[in-house]
């Protein structure tokens, strides 16, 4: 297996110049780095990311190379608009449901796109055969599709570290289609929770009409899957830090520093998603409503500086500091302040000591992709003491049943949870912590990496199969096949070409009237029809008048309504191919179809001379297929004894007389042509399967599109079929047949 290339917006290091002038790399902290550091350190791949904006000096590049790090150089202004602009002023707040923080500027999006392009260029220049690419997070949502374009055979994984919101929220995202199409370029899209995956599936379906099922999708032109991979922490590392002898000394110091009060700890980046103001309000509410805790508990809040170039973050800092000042001013007792606020980051050792000193860990995000802090706290509590109080809006909550879960917006409720944590018996606390520790230990960061990579292996083989032609796509015909088919047809004495219309000769349109034959199609059909040895039959489910009008001047044979009506080439009159049909059920069925039109906005009924069609291509995708299923069930039950059949086509339910189908009709018509030594048939939907089913094995049967089919050969689009027809016309003309 080749290397794994990790890609994230920022490299996991910052650069410090030493006194000698030499650059030194300093490992950064943060959720994503905590997760990926071990993957990179233990592998042989590269980590590709930026160092912010502007050119990167040569000596820094050399230093980076020693750690297999590759810098993407990005124009400084673009980097700012990409990071502070579209990433953190649009995607970050919107994906966390904080719509009031969204500020969209179209120039920021342009910069976002350019930066994603820059990444694509650099990655494409670094990839070696066999490599896989694992892209991370919301700064690079366009990158998978950009890479797919440049590197069609390289497996691309993507992991989103933040929440993926409901499709109703995604609908508000400026440039939502482009973003979703960008993401759909990945072969595996990972998220932290099942809910995020659900939202992703419904956004793909509702916003860009891309359907994922349990096996993912192939509709985006390549195999793609969605998976749930809750990120864990490096448990062994946290246990190591927690059990180091010097930690115990520092824990004692901290306890003394806080005068042996119970320590309620908060550790967050200073970010408005983390609910720090709500946390301070809840703690304040606790002390105001239960004053006995005033000299017995302290809230220690470590707020790690973050994104301080963005106005909302500056405002948050002021708000939090104001709240801390006000709470301390109001509730100070015997020289003890209730909130101890630290605006800085601390070393991993100090953080571990804080986790060990804390009686209660209070984590209150209003939304959080996962939240690693709560898992690190649990991993550090080697003696099973301590209580975790966790917001139900953190991704971590889905696997944290033994924590005290709360709604941070309910300030009184949170205060009650804090009190419950402070007064919990040590037995209950130990019982809860023990199971949490077990969960955190069994689903640590290595487990996460293993699970993602195992799913990535599956996605990789799916992509390889797809490319090698052993999956559904295998039957897309090769040039050689086309050449062989054209050659056989050219040499045939009497040949028939049976061609479905909608979706086969023309692309599907919003309404049947809009799907008119293109001038190119008419030209090709006319060229074919000049040939006396060739019978061209358009076999359609359409109603005969529109078909007759479309081909008024083209001498093709027309079979309309799946075989009910027939117009011979050159004739102007239509005849019934099966004149003795019982159509007594039509009015009753029509009433039901009309009722389903009323229920489903965008649906319509097409009335043909014998059959009826309920079209739902303009109905909202998920709802449309649901209504279609209901309709089919209803009709099958209500008309079980009537001589009709209900057939599902592409976004259409067709009700037609029993026993009449395209296959039977074509067979009847072909008998009139006499002996044939070449048969070619093409169709795109389920009703064409009847046609394929009646063909002899020697026939050339071609499915248009990807769906499962009896036809052994496959073309992707109507345009490709028209090319084949054109080649046939040309080859037969050349041979003078």
Binding mask 10-29 for ligand GDG (x = CB under 6 A): -------------------x
Q: Do 162 and 271 form a contact (C-beta atoms < 8 A)?
A: no
Binder among 103, 202, 328, 345 for ligand GDG (CB under 6 A) = 345
721 lies in the binding site for ligand GDG (CB under 6 A)? no
Is 269 one of the binding residues for ligand GDG (CB under 6 A)?
yes
- The angle, 0 to 180 degrees and rounded to 10, between the axes of the packed helices 106-126 and 143-150 is 40
DSSP annotation of 213: B
Tell me how far, at minimum, the Cβ of 232 lies from ligand GDG, in Å: 10
Nearer to ligand GDG, 37 or 657 (CB): 37
Nearer to ligand GDG, 373 or 496 (CB): 373
Distance CA 14, CA 345 (A): 15
Chosen residue from 182, 369, 503, 512 binding ligand GDG by CB under 6 A: 369
The window from 312-320, 340-348, 478-486, 548-556 that contacts ligand GDG (CB under 6 A) reads: 340-348
Give the residue, chosen from 70, 188, 231, 496, that forms a contact with ligand GDG under the rule CB under 6 A.
231
Total of residues contacting ligand GDG (CB under 6 A): 23
> What number of CA atoms fall less than 13 Å from residue 206's CA on the CB side?
14
**How far apart, in whole angstroms, are the C-alpha atoms of residue 400 and residue 437?**
10
Can you give the length of the chain in residues? 737
32 binds ligand GDG (CB under 6 A): yes
Stretch that binds ligand GDG, among 166-174, 341-349, 546-554, 650-658 (CB under 6 A): 341-349
Q: How far is the CB of 640 from ligand GDG (least distance, A)?
A: 54
The C-alpha atoms of residue 543 and residue 537 are separated, in whole angstroms, by 15
- 690 in active site: no
Nearer to ligand GDG, 81 or 367 (CB): 367
**Touching ligand GDG, residues 580-619 (CB under 6 A):** none
Told to check if 247 binds ligand GDG by CB under 6 A, we report no
Q: How many CB atoms sit inside 10 A of residue 469's CB?
A: 12
C-alpha–C-alpha distance, residues 635 and 259, integer Å: 76
Residue 722 makes contact with ligand GDG by CB under 6 A: no
Stretch that binds ligand GDG, among 178-186, 327-335, 345-353, 622-630 (CB under 6 A): 345-353
Q: Kindly tell me which residue out of 13, 147, 189, 267 binds ligand GDG, with binding defined by CB under 6 A.
A: 267
Judged by CB under 6 A, the chain residues 279 through 298 that form the site for ligand GDG are none
Taking the C-alpha atoms of residue 298 and residue 300, their distance in angstroms, rounded to an integer, is 6
Segment interacting with ligand GDG (CB under 6 A) among 31-39, 193-201, 538-546, 659-667: 31-39
Q: How many CB atoms lie within 10 A of CB 68?
A: 17
Residue 553, CB-side half-sphere exposure with 13 Å CA sphere: 6
Edge-to-edge strand ranges of the sheet holding 495-499: 575-576, 565-567, 557-560, 534-539, 495-499, 678-683, 700-704, 713-715
CA distance 482 to 683: 17
368 binds ligand GDG (CB under 6 A): yes
Applying CB under 6 A, which part among 83-91, 344-352, 408-416, 465-473 lies near ligand GDG? 344-352
The residue from 6, 7, 8, 35 that contacts ligand GDG (CB under 6 A) is 35
Q: How far apart are the first and last CA of the chain?
A: 55
How near is the Cβ of 233 to ligand GDG at its closest, in Å? 7
Q: Does 299 bind ligand GDG (CB under 6 A)?
A: no
Identity of the residue, 352 or 709, whose beta carbon is nearer to ligand GDG in the bound complex: 352
Part of the chain binding ligand GDG (CB under 6 A), chosen from 146-154, 309-317, 346-354, 467-475: 346-354
How far is 499 from 551, CA to CA, in rounded Å?
A: 13
- Binding to ligand GDG (CB under 6 A): which residues in 150-189? 161-162
Least distance to ligand GDG, CB of residue 26, Å = 12
* DSSP bridge partners of 74: 54
Phi first, then psi, for residue 478 (nearest 5°) are -90, 170
Q: Does 304 bind ligand GDG (CB under 6 A)?
A: yes
Q: Which residue in the set 373, 492, 506, 534 belongs to the binding site for ligand GDG (CB under 6 A)?
A: 373
Give the residue, chosen from 376, 444, 535, 606, that forms a contact with ligand GDG under the rule CB under 6 A. 376
Q: Which of 348, 555, 622, 712 binds ligand GDG (CB under 6 A)?
A: 348
- Residue 275 within binding range of ligand GDG, rule CB under 6 A: no
34 scored as a contact of ligand GDG (CB under 6 A): yes
> For ligand GDG, which is the closer residue by CB, 267 or 515?
267
Q: Is the dihedral of CA 659, 663, 669, 670 positive or negative?
A: negative
Q: At how many degrees (to 10) do helices 621-638 and 586-599 cross?
A: 150
Q: How far is the CB of 623 from ligand GDG (least distance, A)?
A: 32
Comparison of 30 and 622: residue with beta carbon closer to ligand GDG: 30
Tokens read off for 475? 């039957």
One DSSP character per residue, 647-703 reads EEETTEEEEEETT--HHHHHHHHHHHH---SEEEEEE-STHHHHHHHHS-TTSEEEE
Kindly give the interhelix angle for 245-257 and 348-357, rounded to the nearest 10 degrees: 60
Nearer to ligand GDG, 32 or 300 (CB): 32
Minimal distance, residue 141 CB to ligand GDG, in Å: 15
Contact pick of 124, 236, 346, 569 for ligand GDG (by CB under 6 A): 346
- Closest distance between ligand GDG and the C-beta of residue 161, in Å? 3
Examine residue 195 and tell whether it contacts ligand GDG (CB under 6 A): no
State the DSSP H helix or E strand holding residue 298, giving kind and residue range, or none if neither. Answer: strand 297-304
Q: How far is the CB of 372 from ligand GDG (least distance, A)?
A: 3
CA distances from 268 to 224, 237, 283, 364, 450 (A): 34, 20, 16, 9, 27
Q: How far is the CB of 367 from ligand GDG (least distance, A)?
A: 9
Label each residue of 393-453 as H, E or C.
CEHHHHHCCCCEEECCCCHHHHHHHHHHHHHCCHHHHHHHHHHHHHHHHHCCHHHHHHHHH
Please tell me the number of Cα atoms within 13 Å of 199 on its side-chain side.
21
Catalytic residue among 78, 131, 271, 500: 500
CB 233 within 8 A of CB 379: yes
- Which residue has the closest beta carbon to ligand GDG? 31
Q: How far is CA 299 from CA 252, 267, 354, 601, 721, in A?
A: 17, 11, 12, 54, 71
In angstroms, give the least distance from the CB of 486 to ligand GDG: 55
Q: Taking the complex as a whole, how short is the minimal distance between the CB of residue 316 and ligand GDG, in angstroms?
A: 14
How many C-beta neighbours within 10 Å does residue 654 have?
A: 22
Integer Cα distance of 639 and 637 in angstroms: 6
Which residues form the interface with ligand GDG (CB under 6 A)? 29-32, 34-35, 161-162, 231, 267, 269, 304, 345-346, 348, 351, 368-373, 376
The residues carrying an active-site annotation are: 500
């Amino acid at each position: 297996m080749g290397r794994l290339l990790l890609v994230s917006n920022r490299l996991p290091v910052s650069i410090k110049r030493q006194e000698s002038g030499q650059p030194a790399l300093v490992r950064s902290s943060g959720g994503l780095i905590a997760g990926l550091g071990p993957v990179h350190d233990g592998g042989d791949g590269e980590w590709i990311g930026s160092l912010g904006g502007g050119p990167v000096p040569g000596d820094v590049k050399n230093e980076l190379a020693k750690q297999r790090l590759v810098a993407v150089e990005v124009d400084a202004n673009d980097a700012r608009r990409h990071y502070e602009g579209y990433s953190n002023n649009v995607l970050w707040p919107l994906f966390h449901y904080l719509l009031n923080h969204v500020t969209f500027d179209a120039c920021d999006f342009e910069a976002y796109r350019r930066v994603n392009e820059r990444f694509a260029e650099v990655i494409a220049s670094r990839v070696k055969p066999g490599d896989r690419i694992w892209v991370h997070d919301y700064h690079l949502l366009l990158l998978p599709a950009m890479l797919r374009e440049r590197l069609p055979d390289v497996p691309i994984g993507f992991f989103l570290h933040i929440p993926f919101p409901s499709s109703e929220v995604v609908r508000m995202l400026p440039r939502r289609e482009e973003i979703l199409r960008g993401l759909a370029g990945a072969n595996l899209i990972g998220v932290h929770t099942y809910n995020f995956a659900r939202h992703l599936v419904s956004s793909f379906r509702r916003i860009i009409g891309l359907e994922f099922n349990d096996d993912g999708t192939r509709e985006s032109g390549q195999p793609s899957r969605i998976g749930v991979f809750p990120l864990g922490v490096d448990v062994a590392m946290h246990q190591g830090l927690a059990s180091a002898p010097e930690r115990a000394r520092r824990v004692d110091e901290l306890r003394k520093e806080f005068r042996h009060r119970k320590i309620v700890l908060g550790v967050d980046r200073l970010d408005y998603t983390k609910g720090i103001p709500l946390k301070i309000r809840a703690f304040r509410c606790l002390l105001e409503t239960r004053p006995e805790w005033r000299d017995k508990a302290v809230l220690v809040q470590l707020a790690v500086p973050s994104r301080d170039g963005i106005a909302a973050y500056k405002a948050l800092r002021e708000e939090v500091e104001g709240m801390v000042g006000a709470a301390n001013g109001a509730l100070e007792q015997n020289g003890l302040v209730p909130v101890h606020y630290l605006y800085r980051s601390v070393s991993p050792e100090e953080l571990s000591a804080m986790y060990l000193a804390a009686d209660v860990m209070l984590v209150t995000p209003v939304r959080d992709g996962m939240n690693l802090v709560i898992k690190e706290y649990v991993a550090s509590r080697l003696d099973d003491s301590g209580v975790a109080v966790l917001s139900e809006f953190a991704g971590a909550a889905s696997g944290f049943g033994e924590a005290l879960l709360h709604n941070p917006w309910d300030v009184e409720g949170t205060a009650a949870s804090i009190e419950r944590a402070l007064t919990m018996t040590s037995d209950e606390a130990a019982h809860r912590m023990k199971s949490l520790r077990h969960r955190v230990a069994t689903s640590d960061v290595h487990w996460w990496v293993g699970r993602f990579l195992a799913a990535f292996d599956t996605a990789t083989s799916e992509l390889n199969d797809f490319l090698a032609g052993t999956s559904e796509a295998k039957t897309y015909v090769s040039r050689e096949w086309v050449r062989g088919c054209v050659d056989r047809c050219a040499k045939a004495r009497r040949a028939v070409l049976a061609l479905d219309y909608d979706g086969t000769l023309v692309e599907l349109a919003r309404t049947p009237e809009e799907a008119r034959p293109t001038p190119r199609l008419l030209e090709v059909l006319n060229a074919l029809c000049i040939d006396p040895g060739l019978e061209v039959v358009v076999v359609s489910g359409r109603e005969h008048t529109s078909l007759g009008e479309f081909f008024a001047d083209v001498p093709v044979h027309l079979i309309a309504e799946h075989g009910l009506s027939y117009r011979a080439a050159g004739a102007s009159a239509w005849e019934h191919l099966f004149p003795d049909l019982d159509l007594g059920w039509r009015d009753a069925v029509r009433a039901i179809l009309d009722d389903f039109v009323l229920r489903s906005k965008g649906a319509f009924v097409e009335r043909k001379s014998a059959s009826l069609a309920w079209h739902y291509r303009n109905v909202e995708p998920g709802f449309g297929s649901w209504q279609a299923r209901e309709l089919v069930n209803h009709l099958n039950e209500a008309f079980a004894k009537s001589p009709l059949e209900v057939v599902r086509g592409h976004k259409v339910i067709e009700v037609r007389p029993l026993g009449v189908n395209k296959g039977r009709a074509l067979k009847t018509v072909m008998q009139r042509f006499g002996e044939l030594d070449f048969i070619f048939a093409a169709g795109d939907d389920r009703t064409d399967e009847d046609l394929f089913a009646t063909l002899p094995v020697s026939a050339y049967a071609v499915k248009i599109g990807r769906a499962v089919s009896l036809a052994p050969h496959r073309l992707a689009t109507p345009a490709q079929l028209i090319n084949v027809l054109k080649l046939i016309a040309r080859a037969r003309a050349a041979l003078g047949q």
